[in-house]
Structure 1
Amino acid sequence: MTHRNTRLALAALAALSSSVVSVHAAEQIDPVVVTATREPQKLSEVIADLTVITREQIESQGFGGVADLLRNTGAVEMTRNGTPASTTSLFIRGAETRHTVVLIDGVRVDSQSTGGASWNGIPLSQIDHIEILKGPASAIYGSDAVGGVVQIFTRKGVAGKTQLDLGIGAGNLGTRRADASISGGNGMFDYAVSLAGERSDGFNATTPANTFSYLPDRDGWRSHSGSLRLGAQLNAQHRVELTALKSHVDGQYDDSTFTPDADDHSIQDTRATGLSWKAQWLPALQTQLSVGESKEHYETKPDAYVTDTRVRTVSLNGSYMLAAGQQVTVLAERREDLLDNTGLVTAGVGKRHENALALGYLLHTGPLNVQAFARRDDDSQFGGVNTGTLMAGYEFAPGLRVVASAGNSFRAPTLYQIGTVYGPDLSLPGVQPLNAERGHNVEIGLKYNVGDNEFSATAYRNRVNDLIVFGAAGTCQSTFGCYQNVAQARLQGLSLAAGTKLGIVNLGATLDLQAPKNTATGLILQRRAKTFGTLRADTTLADWTFGGNVQFSGQRYNDAANKQALGGYALLNLEAAYKIRRDLSLQLNVDNAADKPYSTATGYASAPRTVFIGLRYTPTL
């Protein structure tokens, strides 16, 4: 992005912020969320920096998947090696992609080979809404929550209402897409079933700058997914729920210029299954027992590489109301990780487990809101970690609050980092095991929310120690290089969000000003910009809805030495919808409308202008 474009974006946000008005949908003035504390809370009472993405926003998304949606709403930065089926990384507040906890209906999803969830394997069509928690949360979620938490909720049935949802569409790049869901229930049972599929001829995923694998061809993809959610309200006090999701993505990519005739494919399979029992034992006492399992499978063909991760969790959490506005929470949790990878030294399989106990205290009295959390995790490989978080908010005027928090976090080394020839060889003199990466965060913010009006500003500073990097050889069996605890990072910045409704036009904006640096070198961390954000406008005229979004990012560097610059960019995305009748609508999306060529990773292309036209039929049966 040029300096002129950056100034224009800042000016637009400043003008918008001065209006201080909200972009919340009317039907979700104050939704109930659970991610901030693992307990239901009204969004207006949440102290942490939390963003909610609704089903309406999901349905208006044109090109791409979950990662594109999160970027377009200004919640994260994204990098990708080509098409939506390619390796995708998300950065919350400048933290690595492995520093984000990802949950699907409460089930943790993670890769113990690359670290972090495989974003390209999470299907967008199955999702009802998403909650994004920015900032460390290990005192609530344990390992991985150094940068934040993203919790994805699939569709849920509503008792007494059978709802059918059918969508079909096509676009340029040879893209075809279809999805179907049915949901409903009676007084005791509810259900939701969804299926979806997509195929595309794609675009060339590499550029001539990629001297190793550039091939002038088109790299397409195909995917299919399904989800199931069954609930049983046994009585007024007890509810049992089963959730299941499965996704398969098969994407073409360019492996090497030495094999130009090879049809290279990467295959990503994601599964998440959970079972929960919620019980209200007393008016003040409730518990939830949850069992979950997720599986991540990744392989490449014809150059065979296969890796599988399985994460199992069992948790029992309870809450007790001491008095009006005072609540204590208790959590006992066990996590078991398994990695099956041919690169592992010990029989290709690595295992470990963590046991955790956490306590929380929530106080809400008058204008004061205080939350405190403490947690102990004991890992079978590297020992114990204590984490804690203290948060407070004070409403000194109607709808206007100042909030602050301090806490620490950690990320355990992956089984791949520990168990391959690149991990520490403890038989060598002086070589130590890898330590967990640890973060220490402080932040302060201002929130305003009255009626249609909303504005937030959060300043944060997160020091992350013992960052694991791939460094020089000498401490492991490989002569190519070794994983080491050597780096320190300082993630600091200011996040702004605002919106307004001028007449019939909704306006919204986000802006992040950040300095994610390696403290040893003073250099900016790879592929992270100092400035990024969004501008959005939408309106409804009779049966028409029109919207537009600008997503912008400043310059980044592809390498740790800050020598390979990646130019800034601004993308214009347009959408229009026409309600043919109450339950039938036509939608048009034009993403990257100006056909801006840009790259988020050197040598890899991003999507050109894409056009998509779809029909959606939503009758109530």
Structure 2
Amino acid sequence: MSLSFPAARRSLSALAVLALALPAHAQNKLDTVVTTATRTPQRLSEVLADLTVITRADIERQAAASVADLLRNNGCAEMVRNGGAASTTSLYLRGADTRHTLVLVDGVRMDSQATGGASWQGIPLAQVERVEVLKGPASAIYGSDAVGGVVQIFTRKGGGKTSADLGVGVGNLGTRKLDGGIFGGTGPLDYAVTLAGERSDGFNATLDVPGSFSYIPDRDGWRKHQASLRLGARLADGQRVEGVVLRSHVNGQYDASKSQPQNDDRALQDTDAARLSWTGQWTPALQTQLSYGESRDRYETRPSPYLTITHVRNLALTGSYLLGAGSQLNFQAERIEDKLENSGLVTAGVGKRHRNAIGAGYLFNAGAFSLQAHARHDDDSEFGGVSTGTLLAGYEIAKGLRIVGSAGNAFRAPTLYQQGTVYGPDLSQPGVQALQAERGHNVEFGLKYGSGDTEVSATAYRNRVGNLIVFGAAGSCRSAFGCYQNVAAARLQGLSLAGSTTAGIVNLRATVDLQSPKDAATGQRLARRARHTATLNADTALGDWLLGAGVQASGARWDNAANTRKLGGYALVNASLQYRIRPDLRLQLNVDNAFDRETSTAYGYASTPRTALISLRWSPQL
């Protein structure tokens, strides 16, 4: 059995309308404190931007294969993957390219200066406490990369009485999972240590389709190993220091060429991040944080010899000062250093650059009216200065119902690979200029309703991204095959609907995205973006049982920029069943793609078939 997208879309839309119209109950999620929207703590009810929060409970209930799957399942982004959970993965936030989403893990910037954007397949999930997804440009707060939005991932913390968390799971496709952690604190100290491992025999990631050069009828498995350590200490009242270290290793099989089926081709992805921070509450009005972070993204293929390593260093001073009732000033000073090691670089295989930035924000709240203004200037060592700004306003037209609007711009700096290889501009030629930053200009308008545990939002947006860097015709570089050039522009516009509520004993969450991401010059839809996507998730507790189900639906997409090769739409059904054996012991069954729908998000590559995972989780107090 499978569901067509039109039928699924009609069902999802009807269910979403029903879910959003239901009355509220119990817990007030709007009191949740978030930081991504302004880089300072805010209650969710005060956020003017389009922000989604995914909690640890959501993560455990859904048992997603990766961070990318988690975001797709919750309607935050479209996902494209070349095979299984260890394969190259892209996420499109509001139709923007994957390189236009800034990814932070505990405040550490994750990026690849070879491909541009974070390597989603290498970001660990087992250690994640929550995820905040900010849709819309945020360069006025974070600098480069945040053209489409920001995804900030927070790992698990310790504190209080010592506790443990141990999970073990087995499933079809030869999947085995094991993760564990110890969390606690004593006196002024707190700690959290986690370890995780996963193995799977996988499935055949490639399809036997016309033009496929890599189809090999075998199974492409993967292995993942992850670890994290967090230590914190309260030095005095209002003074806290913290250190975080995490590492992830992914070893995935892939089919490189059907002419060499005997090869055991593997992609090795190592993701490392570390951060030290000192937070000080100097007076009731003044708070600062000084932080230093490093990340490393290492990607290697074997036996074909390819290796690229990106290092990112980030030193930042951020803070806030309360000017008076309902009035706050934010400030920041930051230095970001990028380094790329890649044999394709003409500068002895190593490229470097840095950016210095200063910024400020003003937050004002006077009863029903809210206003936020953010501005930032980044000075890049390669292409000079970029100034960005965002203005947001909101007005409560009825109790719990606000009208909001914003306008702002953003940018993405060219990667060191685009600048520094033979495909980058040859500045020795007359009239050839260095690559410029890609620029986004966005306006949006929305309605937000929140009361109790009910949240509803509708956001209409239009984002024009210019100076897009594409691989175009030869002539401006030293390669005869083609050159990177600033020649394209995209128009991203659409309507996002989201809501959650509780109807009796059933928790409901729904999203619907209607979008039109197009090439501004040709009018063609951008590759691998659907016009319609939707999700619906529901769960309910019946005594010691917790039952859940969800649907992710996507319309048809074009696989190429010329819009000549079509990828069909799909609707996938997931289900979960959890039984509480005792307060600290739970047994869980997760079935994803329950009807074994055959889908493809990239031409020539298969998506994950039906999977079933049985897991046991023990969370004792020690």
User: TM (normalized to structure 1)?
Assistant: 0.98
Distance 2:64 2:572 in 1: 13
1:12 partnered with 2:4: no
Residue matched to 1:581: 582
Percentage identity across paired residues of the two chains:
65
Query: Which SS does the other structure have where 1:282 is aligned?
Result: coil
What are the Cα deviations for residues 507-550 of structure 1, in whole angstroms up to 9, with x where unaligned? 22100000000010001001000000101111000000000000
Matches within 5 A, 1:422-441: 422-441=423-442
Residue matched to 1:313: 314
User: Which amino acid in structure 2 is aligned with residue 581 of structure 1?
Assistant: R
User: Which amino acid in structure 2 is aligned with residue 168 of structure 1?
Assistant: V
Residue matched to 1:371: 372
Distance 1:580 1:20 in 2: 32
Residue matched to 1:64: 65
Distance 2:270 2:333 in 1: 30
**Which stretch of the first structure deviates more once superposed, 363-372 or 165-174?**
363-372
Query: Which SS does the other structure have where 2:31 is aligned?
Result: coil
TM-aligned CA deviation for residue 20 of structure 1: 6.5
1:607 partnered with 2:613: no
Aligned residue pairs, count: 618
Residue matched to 1:102: 103
Distance 2:20 2:583 in 1: 35
TM-aligned CA deviation for residue 428 of structure 1: 1.6
Query: Which SS does the other structure have where 1:328 is aligned?
Result: strand
Distance 1:499 1:413 in 2: 38
Residue matched to 1:303: 304
User: Is the contact between residue 410 and residue 436 of structure 1 (CA under 8 Å) also seen in structure 2?
Assistant: yes
Matches within 5 A, 1:320-469: 320-469=321-470
**Which stretch of the first structure deviates more once superposed, 282-291 or 589-598?**
282-291
Distance 2:541 2:20 in 1: 23
User: Is the contact between residue 178 and residue 197 of structure 1 (CA under 8 Å) also seen in structure 2?
Assistant: yes
Query: Which SS does the other structure have where 1:606 is aligned?
Result: coil
Residue matched to 1:496: 497
User: Is the contact between residue 308 and residue 340 of structure 1 (CA under 8 Å) also seen in structure 2?
Assistant: yes
Distance 1:58 1:502 in 2: 22
Distance 1:45 1:448 in 2: 12
Unaligned 5+ runs, structure 1: none
TM-aligned CA deviation for residue 61 of structure 1: 2.5
TM-aligned CA deviation for residue 373 of structure 1: 0.5
User: TM (normalized to structure 2)?
Assistant: 0.98
Distance 2:580 2:21 in 1: 34
Distance 2:467 2:166 in 1: 49
TM-aligned CA deviation for residue 13 of structure 1: 2.3
Distance 1:477 1:21, change over 3 A: farther
User: Which amino acid in structure 2 is aligned with residue 107 of structure 1?
Assistant: V
2:6 aligned residue (3, 16, 20): 3
Distance 1:510 1:242 in 2: 36
Residue matched to 1:187: 187
What are the Cα deviations for residues 116-139 of structure 1, in whole angstroms up to 9, with x where unaligned? 000000111010001000000000
**Which stretch of the first structure deviates more once superposed, 206-215 or 549-558?**
206-215
User: Is the contact between residue 20 and residue 455 of structure 1 (CA under 8 Å) also seen in structure 2?
Assistant: no
TM-aligned CA deviation for residue 26 of structure 1: 3.3
Residue matched to 1:51: 52
1:505 partnered with 2:506: yes
TM-aligned CA deviation for residue 2 of structure 1: 4.0
Distance 1:395 1:65, change over 3 A: same
TM-aligned CA deviation for residue 29 of structure 1: 4.7
Residue matched to 2:157: 156
TM-aligned CA deviation for residue 4 of structure 1: 3.3
TM-aligned CA deviation for residue 27 of structure 1: 7.5
Query: Which SS does the other structure have where 2:424 is aligned?
Result: coil
**Which stretch of the first structure deviates more once superposed, 551-560 or 11-20?**
11-20
**Which stretch of the first structure deviates more once superposed, 412-421 or 317-326?**
317-326
Distance 1:284 1:87 in 2: 46
Distance 1:20 1:251 in 2: 46
User: Is the contact between residue 76 and residue 93 of structure 1 (CA under 8 Å) also seen in structure 2?
Assistant: yes
User: RMSD value over aligned CA atoms?
Assistant: 1.2
Moved over 6 A (4+): none
Distance 2:81 2:64 in 1: 14
Distance 1:585 1:12 in 2: 30
Query: Which SS does the other structure have where 2:190 is aligned?
Result: strand
Distance 1:244 1:327 in 2: 32
